[in-house]
Chain A
Amino acid sequence: MSWQTPSDLKYARTDEYVRLEGDRATIGLSDYAQDQLNDVVFVELPEVGAHFEKGKPFGAVESVKAASDLLMPVGGTVVEINEQLTDEPELLNSSPYDKGWIIKIQVDDASEAGSLMDADAYTEYCNTR
């Protein structure tokens, strides 16, 4: 199998990606993760303004057969949530890196992203699972 792993993103072992843009970041779920989950039927989103540390759950995704927590790849404060996912959770499947983004945050400390994988490392990681 092959999955898209855009090279401008960083990836967590729990399959969240982060797109860093200065002190802002966009967080979503990788193509590999959406493929494993199959049809996503529900996304639980946090409230704007909520603060989460790195590694803490900020929401959850559900498919018919599985549910998994969404963990913060880096700590930060939620500044925007993708409300379109409430009505169209399938965007997570059809467009994980674009229309299917989940939250945007104000990053606490961008150096926290240092421990995340780059695209090559993440591709390798997915292939060995």
Chain B
Amino acid sequence: MVDAKGNKDERDQGTKTQDGSHETQAELVKSDAVELEIVEVREGAFGIHGTGDTSGFGGLTRPVMMPGASQRPYGGWFDEVADQIATIGELDQAIEKVIVDRGEITFFIRRHKLLETVTHLRNDPVLRFEFCSSVSGVHFPHETGRELHVAYHLLSMTHNRRIRLEVVAPDDDPHIPSVVSIYPTADWQERETWDMFGIIFDGHPALARILMPDDWPGHPQRKDYPLGGIPVEYKGGTIAPPDQRRSYS
């Protein structure tokens, strides 16, 4: 067993995934990332768990490994941007970690420093990320204490560069400062992220639902959002909700 932090239980030291194609980490992730982080471990396939399993699929384990923090040098202009962010006093503490993967750089920003960081990213002539392309949320229910992620895709038209900022918040305190005062385009995108993930953007001028009806309960893009099954007219049978059907992961 491997827990969410990647520590292995001594009972099965050295256990590898049983799926031959994923035996080594190198095969699993073809990326520049030197280190992988286990964020979750899945067991079984086709929804088979526990006793009574004669197929063997219930014994499958698959660690979910995301690219981990990168070390310097990041390569190309990535270092220049990282250096420039660090020149502003206290902002070096804003960066939790940096991930360089698939030619993209991701800065994990501590949420209480987000507003200062984006202000600096937009205004500094060396950085000049004047355009916020996209704001989107991702829900990782297994990352205890950092379940909710928000990814900001910033574009510098001046220097023709793109970076990603990622900010995390725990599920029981889903607050992230709003960047609308810096990037007015984030207005609707933050509303969508609130609507879909329940992340509260503090300081947003009017954080109302945007795609779902105003009185809708729940936040549909979250992984724990209950999905509907479909009743079938055959002896009370139902088609299970999509997240409870047989699956390969």
Does B bind A? no
Residues of B whose CB lies within 8 Å of any CB of A are none
Residues of A whose CB lies within 8 Å of any CB of B are none
